[in-house]
Structure 1
Amino acid sequence: MLTSQTTQQRCPCGSEKSFAFCCEPYIEGQKPAPTAEQLMRSRYTAFALGAIDYLIDTTVPEKRELIDRAIVAEQIQFTTWTGLTILNKEAGSKEDTQGVVEFEAAFETEDDQCILHERSSFYAKNGQWYYADGEVNVRSVA
Protein backbone atom coordinates (compact mmCIF):
# COMPACT_ATOMS: atom_id res chain seq x y z
CA MET A 1 0.00 0.00 0.00
CA LEU A 2 1.21 3.49 -0.76
CA THR A 3 1.79 6.02 2.00
CA SER A 4 0.39 9.54 2.23
CA GLN A 5 3.95 10.84 1.84
CA THR A 6 4.21 9.00 -1.48
CA THR A 7 0.95 10.52 -2.71
CA GLN A 8 2.16 14.09 -1.98
CA GLN A 9 5.36 13.67 -3.96
CA ARG A 10 5.77 14.49 -7.61
CA CYS A 11 4.79 11.55 -9.79
CA PRO A 12 7.73 9.38 -10.90
CA CYS A 13 6.37 9.33 -14.48
CA GLY A 14 7.72 12.82 -15.11
CA SER A 15 4.37 14.55 -15.64
CA GLU A 16 5.22 17.29 -13.09
CA LYS A 17 1.90 16.51 -11.33
CA SER A 18 1.64 15.14 -7.82
CA PHE A 19 1.38 11.37 -7.64
CA ALA A 20 -2.12 11.71 -6.14
CA PHE A 21 -3.33 13.58 -9.23
CA CYS A 22 -1.45 11.53 -11.80
CA CYS A 23 -0.73 7.79 -11.63
CA GLU A 24 -2.01 6.95 -8.14
CA PRO A 25 -5.71 6.61 -9.10
CA TYR A 26 -4.77 4.10 -11.80
CA ILE A 27 -2.34 2.10 -9.66
CA GLU A 28 -4.79 2.01 -6.75
CA GLY A 29 -7.59 0.79 -9.05
CA GLN A 30 -9.79 3.85 -8.63
CA LYS A 31 -10.12 4.27 -12.40
CA PRO A 32 -8.48 2.92 -15.57
CA ALA A 33 -5.78 4.84 -17.40
CA PRO A 34 -7.59 6.74 -20.19
CA THR A 35 -4.89 6.46 -22.88
CA ALA A 36 -2.06 4.17 -23.91
CA GLU A 37 0.48 6.81 -22.90
CA GLN A 38 -1.03 7.22 -19.45
CA LEU A 39 -1.03 3.45 -18.97
CA MET A 40 2.62 3.34 -19.99
CA ARG A 41 3.44 6.19 -17.57
CA SER A 42 1.55 4.47 -14.75
CA ARG A 43 3.33 1.18 -15.44
CA TYR A 44 6.69 2.99 -15.25
CA THR A 45 5.54 4.43 -11.92
CA ALA A 46 4.45 0.97 -10.78
CA PHE A 47 7.94 -0.35 -11.53
CA ALA A 48 9.45 2.58 -9.62
CA LEU A 49 7.20 2.01 -6.59
CA GLY A 50 7.02 -1.78 -6.63
CA ALA A 51 3.31 -2.15 -7.51
CA ILE A 52 3.61 -5.65 -8.95
CA ASP A 53 -0.12 -6.42 -8.91
CA TYR A 54 -0.77 -3.39 -11.12
CA LEU A 55 1.90 -4.50 -13.59
CA ILE A 56 0.28 -7.92 -13.86
CA ASP A 57 -3.29 -6.59 -13.98
CA THR A 58 -2.46 -4.17 -16.82
CA THR A 59 -0.80 -6.81 -18.99
CA VAL A 60 -3.06 -8.38 -21.64
CA PRO A 61 -4.80 -11.34 -19.96
CA GLU A 62 -3.37 -13.94 -22.35
CA LYS A 63 0.22 -13.01 -21.31
CA ARG A 64 -0.22 -12.71 -17.54
CA GLU A 65 0.69 -16.34 -16.87
CA LEU A 66 4.10 -15.66 -18.42
CA ILE A 67 4.94 -13.12 -15.71
CA ASP A 68 7.08 -14.50 -12.90
CA ARG A 69 6.17 -12.43 -9.83
CA ALA A 70 9.39 -13.40 -8.00
CA ILE A 71 11.59 -12.24 -10.88
CA VAL A 72 9.69 -8.94 -11.16
CA ALA A 73 10.01 -8.41 -7.40
CA GLU A 74 13.75 -9.06 -7.56
CA GLN A 75 14.17 -6.65 -10.49
CA ILE A 76 12.26 -3.96 -8.61
CA GLN A 77 14.34 -4.49 -5.48
CA PHE A 78 17.65 -3.98 -7.31
CA THR A 79 16.61 -1.24 -9.74
CA THR A 80 16.13 2.48 -9.17
CA TRP A 81 14.18 4.17 -11.97
CA THR A 82 15.51 7.69 -12.49
CA GLY A 83 13.63 9.19 -15.43
CA LEU A 84 11.15 8.70 -18.23
CA THR A 85 11.12 10.38 -21.64
CA ILE A 86 8.30 9.86 -24.13
CA LEU A 87 9.81 9.79 -27.63
CA ASN A 88 6.79 9.08 -29.81
CA LYS A 89 3.23 7.84 -29.69
CA GLU A 90 0.89 6.48 -32.33
CA ALA A 91 -2.86 6.41 -31.68
CA GLY A 92 -3.72 5.26 -28.17
CA SER A 93 -6.30 7.98 -27.40
CA LYS A 94 -9.54 7.43 -25.50
CA GLU A 95 -11.29 6.66 -28.80
CA ASP A 96 -8.70 4.14 -30.06
CA THR A 97 -8.39 0.42 -29.39
CA GLN A 98 -4.67 0.19 -30.20
CA GLY A 99 -1.69 2.37 -29.52
CA VAL A 100 2.09 2.44 -29.54
CA VAL A 101 4.28 4.40 -27.15
CA GLU A 102 8.02 4.72 -27.68
CA PHE A 103 10.00 5.82 -24.66
CA GLU A 104 13.29 5.78 -22.83
CA ALA A 105 13.48 4.94 -19.15
CA ALA A 106 16.66 5.62 -17.22
CA PHE A 107 17.58 3.32 -14.37
CA GLU A 108 20.42 2.45 -12.04
CA THR A 109 21.53 -0.78 -10.48
CA GLU A 110 24.31 -1.30 -7.99
CA ASP A 111 26.74 -1.84 -10.87
CA ASP A 112 25.49 0.27 -13.76
CA GLN A 113 23.47 3.18 -15.14
CA CYS A 114 21.35 2.28 -18.15
CA ILE A 115 18.72 3.45 -20.58
CA LEU A 116 15.89 1.12 -21.54
CA HIS A 117 14.51 2.05 -24.95
CA GLU A 118 11.14 0.47 -25.73
CA ARG A 119 8.49 0.65 -28.38
CA SER A 120 5.44 -0.74 -26.55
CA SER A 121 2.14 -1.94 -28.00
CA PHE A 122 -1.10 -1.41 -26.09
CA TYR A 123 -4.68 -2.56 -26.62
CA ALA A 124 -7.93 -1.28 -25.15
CA LYS A 125 -10.96 -3.38 -24.36
CA ASN A 126 -14.11 -2.06 -22.68
CA GLY A 127 -12.38 1.19 -21.73
CA GLN A 128 -9.35 -0.53 -20.17
CA TRP A 129 -5.88 -0.24 -21.71
CA TYR A 130 -3.47 -3.19 -21.50
CA TYR A 131 0.23 -3.60 -22.24
CA ALA A 132 0.71 -6.25 -24.94
CA ASP A 133 4.42 -6.34 -25.73
CA GLY A 134 7.41 -4.26 -26.64
CA GLU A 135 10.60 -4.07 -28.63
CA VAL A 136 13.23 -3.49 -25.93
CA ASN A 137 16.86 -2.40 -26.09
CA VAL A 138 18.96 -1.67 -23.00
CA ARG A 139 22.25 0.19 -23.14
CA SER A 140 24.72 1.16 -20.46
CA VAL A 141 25.46 4.87 -20.07
CA ALA A 142 28.00 4.68 -17.25
Structure 2
Amino acid sequence: MKKCFCGRALSYENCCGALHSGKRSAQSAEELMRSRYSAFAVADVDYIMRTYAPETRPNSERAEIKRWAASVMWLGLQVISTQKGKPGDKEGRVKFKALYSEAGKIHEMLEDSYFRFEQGQWFYVDGK
Protein backbone atom coordinates (compact mmCIF):
# COMPACT_ATOMS: atom_id res chain seq x y z
CA MET A 1 0.00 0.00 0.00
CA LYS A 2 1.35 3.40 -1.00
CA LYS A 3 0.69 5.64 2.03
CA CYS A 4 -0.89 9.00 1.29
CA PHE A 5 1.45 11.99 1.12
CA CYS A 6 -0.79 13.96 3.51
CA GLY A 7 0.30 11.83 6.46
CA ARG A 8 -2.92 9.97 7.13
CA ALA A 9 -2.71 6.20 7.61
CA LEU A 10 -4.60 5.50 4.38
CA SER A 11 -3.45 4.61 0.91
CA TYR A 12 -3.08 7.50 -1.52
CA GLU A 13 -5.89 6.00 -3.65
CA ASN A 14 -8.32 5.89 -0.70
CA CYS A 15 -7.32 9.29 0.66
CA CYS A 16 -6.20 12.28 -1.40
CA GLY A 17 -6.10 10.34 -4.66
CA ALA A 18 -9.90 9.97 -4.48
CA LEU A 19 -10.20 13.76 -4.30
CA HIS A 20 -7.66 14.34 -7.07
CA SER A 21 -9.54 11.97 -9.39
CA GLY A 22 -12.91 13.57 -8.59
CA LYS A 23 -14.37 10.43 -6.98
CA ARG A 24 -15.30 12.53 -3.97
CA SER A 25 -14.95 16.08 -2.63
CA ALA A 26 -13.20 17.38 0.47
CA GLN A 27 -15.54 17.39 3.46
CA SER A 28 -13.60 19.97 5.48
CA ALA A 29 -11.07 22.74 5.09
CA GLU A 30 -8.40 20.50 6.63
CA GLU A 31 -9.14 17.72 4.16
CA LEU A 32 -8.86 20.17 1.27
CA MET A 33 -5.55 21.49 2.62
CA ARG A 34 -4.20 17.94 2.98
CA SER A 35 -5.33 17.08 -0.55
CA ARG A 36 -3.68 20.20 -1.96
CA TYR A 37 -0.42 19.27 -0.19
CA SER A 38 -0.65 15.83 -1.80
CA ALA A 39 -1.43 17.44 -5.16
CA PHE A 40 1.81 19.40 -4.90
CA ALA A 41 3.62 16.15 -4.02
CA VAL A 42 2.38 14.49 -7.23
CA ALA A 43 2.49 17.74 -9.28
CA ASP A 44 -1.27 17.56 -10.01
CA VAL A 45 -1.58 21.17 -11.13
CA ASP A 46 -5.13 20.62 -12.45
CA TYR A 47 -6.34 19.81 -8.93
CA ILE A 48 -4.35 22.66 -7.42
CA MET A 49 -5.90 25.14 -9.85
CA ARG A 50 -9.49 23.93 -9.56
CA THR A 51 -9.41 24.10 -5.75
CA TYR A 52 -8.39 27.76 -5.70
CA ALA A 53 -11.25 30.21 -5.11
CA PRO A 54 -12.01 31.74 -8.53
CA GLU A 55 -10.97 35.25 -7.47
CA THR A 56 -7.51 34.14 -6.30
CA ARG A 57 -6.77 31.46 -8.93
CA PRO A 58 -3.35 32.28 -10.48
CA ASN A 59 -4.13 31.07 -14.02
CA SER A 60 -1.10 32.82 -15.49
CA GLU A 61 1.21 30.93 -13.09
CA ARG A 62 0.04 27.42 -14.04
CA ALA A 63 3.29 26.38 -15.80
CA GLU A 64 5.43 27.81 -12.98
CA ILE A 65 3.40 25.96 -10.33
CA LYS A 66 3.81 22.69 -12.25
CA ARG A 67 7.55 23.23 -12.72
CA TRP A 68 8.09 24.05 -9.05
CA ALA A 69 5.90 21.20 -7.75
CA ALA A 70 7.80 18.71 -9.92
CA SER A 71 11.19 20.05 -8.77
CA VAL A 72 10.76 19.59 -5.01
CA MET A 73 10.46 16.53 -2.79
CA TRP A 74 7.77 16.83 -0.14
CA LEU A 75 8.95 15.39 3.18
CA GLY A 76 6.10 15.85 5.62
CA LEU A 77 3.01 17.72 6.70
CA GLN A 78 1.97 18.72 10.21
CA VAL A 79 -1.40 20.33 10.94
CA ILE A 80 -0.87 22.80 13.76
CA SER A 81 -4.42 24.07 14.24
CA THR A 82 -7.82 24.38 12.61
CA GLN A 83 -10.57 26.94 13.14
CA LYS A 84 -14.03 26.13 11.82
CA GLY A 85 -13.87 24.53 8.38
CA LYS A 86 -16.08 21.57 9.31
CA PRO A 87 -19.21 20.32 7.50
CA GLY A 88 -21.85 23.04 7.87
CA ASP A 89 -19.31 25.88 8.15
CA LYS A 90 -18.91 28.46 5.38
CA GLU A 91 -15.25 29.22 6.07
CA GLY A 92 -12.27 27.81 7.88
CA ARG A 93 -8.60 28.27 8.67
CA VAL A 94 -5.87 25.67 8.80
CA LYS A 95 -2.40 26.42 10.10
CA PHE A 96 0.20 23.91 8.96
CA LYS A 97 3.89 23.23 8.55
CA ALA A 98 5.27 21.47 5.47
CA LEU A 99 8.81 20.26 4.94
CA TYR A 100 10.31 19.89 1.49
CA SER A 101 13.66 19.49 -0.19
CA GLU A 102 14.66 21.70 -3.09
CA ALA A 103 18.07 21.68 -4.77
CA GLY A 104 19.48 19.58 -1.93
CA LYS A 105 18.31 21.91 0.86
CA ILE A 106 15.55 21.29 3.40
CA HIS A 107 12.93 24.04 3.67
CA GLU A 108 10.07 24.60 6.08
CA MET A 109 6.88 26.32 4.99
CA LEU A 110 4.55 27.61 7.70
CA GLU A 111 1.17 28.83 6.49
CA ASP A 112 -2.15 29.95 7.94
CA SER A 113 -4.57 29.13 5.11
CA TYR A 114 -8.06 30.52 4.61
CA PHE A 115 -10.76 28.36 2.99
CA ARG A 116 -14.34 29.05 1.92
CA PHE A 117 -17.23 26.66 1.28
CA GLU A 118 -19.48 27.59 -1.63
CA GLN A 119 -21.47 25.81 -4.31
CA GLY A 120 -21.11 22.55 -2.41
CA GLN A 121 -17.33 22.46 -2.13
CA TRP A 122 -14.33 23.85 -0.27
CA PHE A 123 -11.93 26.29 -1.97
CA TYR A 124 -8.51 27.62 -0.97
CA VAL A 125 -8.69 31.43 -0.84
CA ASP A 126 -5.24 32.44 0.39
CA GLY A 127 -2.57 31.90 3.00
CA LYS A 128 -0.10 33.89 5.07
- Residues 1:65 and 1:107: Cα distance change in structure 2 (over 3 Å): closer
Pick aligned residue for 2:96 from 93, 103, 107: 103
1:140 is matched with none
Q: Which moved more, 1:51-60 or 1:62-71?
A: 62-71
Shift of 1:66: 4.7
Higher CA-based Rg: 1
Task: Give 1:127 deviation, angstroms.
Answer: 2.1
Return the TM-score normalized by structure 2: 0.95
Structure 1 Cα separation of the partners of residues 104 and 39 of structure 2: 22
Q: Counterpart in 1 of 2:120?
A: 127
Counterpart residue number, 2:37? 44
Q: Which amino acid aligns with 1:80?
A: M
Query: Higher relative contact order by CA 8 Å / sep ≥ 6: 1 or 2?
Result: 2
Structure 2 partner of 1:83:
76
Report percent identity of matched pairs.
Answer: 35
- Whether the 8 Å contact between 2:98 and 2:109 is mirrored in structure 1 is yes
Equivalent pairs, count: 128
Which 4+ residue blocks in structure 1 deviate beyond 2 angstroms?
Answer: none
In the alignment, what sits opposite 2:107?
114
Structure 2 Cα separation of the partners of residues 84 and 16 of structure 1: 13
Q: Deviations over 1:44-70 (max 9, x none)?
A: 000000100000000001122455111
Counterpart-to-counterpart distance in 1, 2:12 and 2:50: 20
Q: Which runs of no fewer than 5 residues in structure 1 stay unpaired?
A: 1-7, 136-142
Q: Cα RMSD (Å) of the superposition?
A: 1.1
